[in-house]
Amino acid sequence: MFSVIRDCPCVPISILSVLIVFKSMAQIVVCMERECHELNAKFDRLKSYFNDGQSCNLSVDGWTVCRGLLYFSAEKHNWSKSRDVCVSKGADLVTITSQNEQDFLVSKIKETHWIGLNDLETEGRWVWVNNQTLEETGVEFWFGSVQKEPDNWKVQDPSGENCASLGDRNGNLHTWFDGSCKQQKKFICENKY
Ligand SMILES: *[C@@H]1O[C@H](CO)[C@@H](O)[C@H](O)[C@H]1NC(C)=O
Ligand SMILES: *[C@@H]1O[C@H](CO)[C@@H](O)[C@H](O)[C@H]1NC(C)=O
Ligand SMILES: *[C@@H]1O[C@H](CO)[C@@H](O)[C@H](O)[C@H]1NC(C)=O
């Protein structure tokens, strides 16, 4: 044994170094597998987060935030103040431009909320905060077929009802109502990016 080493010391050393190299390669493979597994788990979490339209979280300041796009307020304000709060967050009041969007918002609220629809500028001409008309978006979800909204009811507020909400006080949460812009309601902001 000793003579072998003395005669050719490079042989066991090279075997040893091959073993060391092999072992560290094996360790690298194990590490890569673990890393890969962790990355996959992270990817799955991210994927479900972005695919899952239901992914909404309550933030520390009481807002419910859905995918960083929609913000449901905890506080109540009149319509213009609500809009100001949205704008101060780099957003605006929400615009509803599809049945899917309508259904999603309805599924998230438990009481009436202001949305970004109004006829403040011209009575009867309803526009979204981005100036799109209902004809342009092609969808509207006003309450009722007999007692139809919008009705610009003037009993409560002589200036009429120029701001729209999703739902009313009576819990008809899946349709739109025009209301006095002075009413205090929760509201939904939408980030535009
Ligand atoms: C956000 O909400 C989703 C489901 O709505 C939940 O799976 C996830 O853990 C929440 N994330 C945080 C950071 O709370
Ligand atoms: C919408 O129209 C008003 C004037 O009618 C204008 O002041 C405002 O900048 C317009 N907003 C957008 C987003 O185009
Ligand atoms: C809305 O509320 C703000 C702040 O509370 C107030 O300054 C403003 O006059 C109100 N506007 C209307 C139309 O009620």
In 3-state terms, what secondary structure has residue 185? strand
| pLDDT tens per residue across all 193 residues of the chain | 444 444 444 445 565 555 555 566 666 566 566 665 655 554 554 555 444 555 799 998 999 999 889 999 999 999 999 999 999 999 999 999 999 999 999 999 999 999 999 999 999 999 999 999 999 999 999 998 777 899 899 888 999 999 999 999 888 999 999 999 999 999 999 997 6
Q: Note the pTM of the prediction, 2 decimals.
A: 0.74
Whole-number Å distance, alpha carbon 185 to ligand 3 midpoint, is: 12
- Alpha-carbon torsion, ordered 123, 72, 104, 146, to 10 deg: -30
Name the residue of 114, 163, 182, 184 whose CB sits within 8 Å of the most ligand 3 atoms, as the mutation to test its pocket: 182
- The pair of structure tokens assigned to 43 is 């990817």
Ligand 3 neighbours, Cβ below 6 Å, are: 78, 80-81, 181-182
Handedness of CA 118, 61, 57, 76 (dihedral sign): negative
Whole-number Å distance, alpha carbon 130 to ligand 2 midpoint, is: 7
Helices (H), 52-174: 79-88, 99-108, 134-137
Q: Among 181, 59, 191, 193, which residue's Cα sits nearest to residue 114?
A: 181
In 3-state terms, what secondary structure has residue 93? strand
CA 163 to chain centre: 23
Q: Are 91 and 192 in contact (CB under 8 A)?
A: yes
